[in-house]
Amino acid sequence: MSILYAFTPSPIGQLLLAGTGAELQALRFPPVAAPGDRATPDPDWLPDPDAFEQAKAQLAEYFAGARQTFSLRLAPRVTAFQAEVLAALGRIPYGETRSYSAIARSIGRPTAVRAVGAANARNPLPILIPCHRVVGADGSLTGFGGGLPAKRHLLNLEQRTAC
C-alpha cells in the first residue's frame, strides 16, 4: 500500500503528515536549523495535498487551544516495547508532564529509563502521541525532535489552555 503525505501549517512550522490515507503513520517536524523549511518525506511516499483533512483540522484546533485530545486513526510502526511507551505517553494528561523514570515505572519497567527515552525519541507521531510532555527528572526540558523551542511552545500552549 502506498504511503501518502501532506503538509499542514502550525505555529512551530510546516508539519508533514504521512500514512495510508485512512490512518496516520507519521508526523514530522521541519528541520530545527532551517525555520520556514518543510519536513522531508521519504522518497517513495506520494504527495497528496488533500490527504488527512481530519488530522489537519484537529491539529489546527489543538494549536488554537480548542482541542485537548485527538480522535484519529493512528498506526505507528513500532516495536512492542515502543508501543508500551507510546501508550503510556498517551495517558499523560493535557497540560501535565511526566519524567522518563515515571513513564518507566508506569509500564512496570522501573530500570528501563534509558530505553524509555530512546522509545520516546523515536515516536513517529509527536504531538498526537504527546512525547513533548516528557521532561527530565528535575523538570527540565530535554531533547525533542522538533527542537526545544517547539517543545516549550507546546507545553506553554497546554498550560495556558488546560481546564
Exposed e or buried b per residue across 37-53, where buried means at least 16 C-beta atoms within 10 angstroms of its C-beta: eebebeeebeeeeebbe
What pLDDT, on a 0 to 100 scale, did the predictor assign at position 38? Answer: 74
The residues near 57 (Cβ < 8 Å, ≥ 6 apart) are none
Q: Which three cell numbers stand for residue 114?
A: 534509558
> pTM (2 decimals)?
0.92
Active site residue 131: yes
The per-residue DSSP string of 13-24 comes to -BEEEEESSSSE
Of 85, 119, 127, 131, which is the active-site residue? 131
What stretches in the chain show pLDDT beneath 50? none
Which residues make beta-bridge pairs with 16? 7, 28
CATH of the domain at 106: 1.10.10.10
Structurally, the chain folds into a number of domains equal to 2
What pLDDT, on a 0 to 100 scale, did the predictor assign at position 34? Answer: 55
Residue 154 lies in a domain: yes
Residue 71 lies in a domain: no
Q: Are residues 125 and 151 in the same domain?
A: yes
Domain containing 29: what range?
A: 4-63
What pLDDT, on a 0 to 100 scale, did the predictor assign at position 117? Answer: 94
Last residue of a domain, one of 38, 63, 88: 63
Last residue of a domain, one of 63, 88, 111: 63
